[in-house]
Amino acid sequence: MKSHQIKFNLNGEAVSLSVEPSDVLLDVLRGRLGIKSPKAGCDRGDCGTCTVLMNGRTVRSCLALAVEADGAEIVTLEGANTRKWTQKLQKKFHEKNAFQCGFCAPGVILSATELLEKNPKATQRDIKEAIAGNLCRCTGYEPIVGAIAETARER
């Protein structure tokens, strides 16, 4: 297979590297670029632990090929603190003890960030729909939904 040179913006910094056509974005982010917030959970796009923002939209990086990132803006939790809602969400999650193990936290926070950037007046239903693709085995979701709702109310 012939490798491809790709260029993209990662957390505000230009990245240029050579990838194979079959390289998965998650593997490139973690293994080659040292980004640790997106995690390998199910490797099928079901759990949401690998969630990143690509051009402002949540993407399952375990399903995205690295070549798809060419020309894109990729934001992981490491780089999301410059976004309007991320720090507020992180603070509220901490205050409300919304996570137990934290494995799902980066994906949930990025999903909530995307939601509140698009809909700062999100309802409980909007919130539940936005995080539906993020599996959490610890909390039962109520503390997570509550923290997102409270963040939205405090805008």
Write the pLDDT tens digit of every residue in 102-136.
899 999 999 999 999 999 999 999 999 999 999 98
CATH code assigned at 55? 3.10.20.30
Q: Does 68 lie in the same domain as 38?
A: yes
Q: Does 30 lie in the same domain as 64?
A: yes
Q: Does 99 lie in the same domain as 63?
A: no
Q: Does 88 lie in the same domain as 74?
A: no
Largest CA distance in the chain: 51
The model carries a pTM of: 0.93
Task: Answer for the pair 136, 104: CB distance below 8 angstroms, yes or no.
Answer: yes
- More confident: 138 or 54: 54
Task: Answer for the pair 59, 51: CB distance below 8 angstroms, yes or no.
Answer: yes
Q: Which pLDDT band, with edges at 50, 70 and 90, does 32 fall under?
A: very high
| Structural domain span for residue 62 | 4-79
Q: Which residue has the tokens 């997570």?
A: 144
Number of domains present in the structure of the chain: 2
Domain boundary among 45, 79, 113: 79
- Gap between the Cα atoms of 9 and 73, Å rounded: 5
- Gap between the Cα atoms of 39 and 60, Å rounded: 10
Q: Does 114 lie in the same domain as 146?
A: yes
Q: Does 17 lie in the same domain as 41?
A: yes
CATH code assigned at 121? 1.10.150.120
Task: Answer for the pair 32, 24: CB distance below 8 angstroms, yes or no.
Answer: no
Q: Does 44 lie in the same domain as 18?
A: yes
Task: Answer for the pair 52, 29: CB distance below 8 angstroms, yes or no.
Answer: yes
* Main-chain dihedrals φ then ψ at residue 127, nearest 5 degrees: -65, -50
Radius of gyration of the chain (CA): 15
Task: Answer for the pair 43, 25: CB distance below 8 angstroms, yes or no.
Answer: no
- Gap between the Cα atoms of 13 and 114, Å rounded: 20
Q: Does 14 lie in the same domain as 60?
A: yes
- More confident: 82 or 143: 143
**Closest C-alpha to 56, from 134, 118, 149:** 118
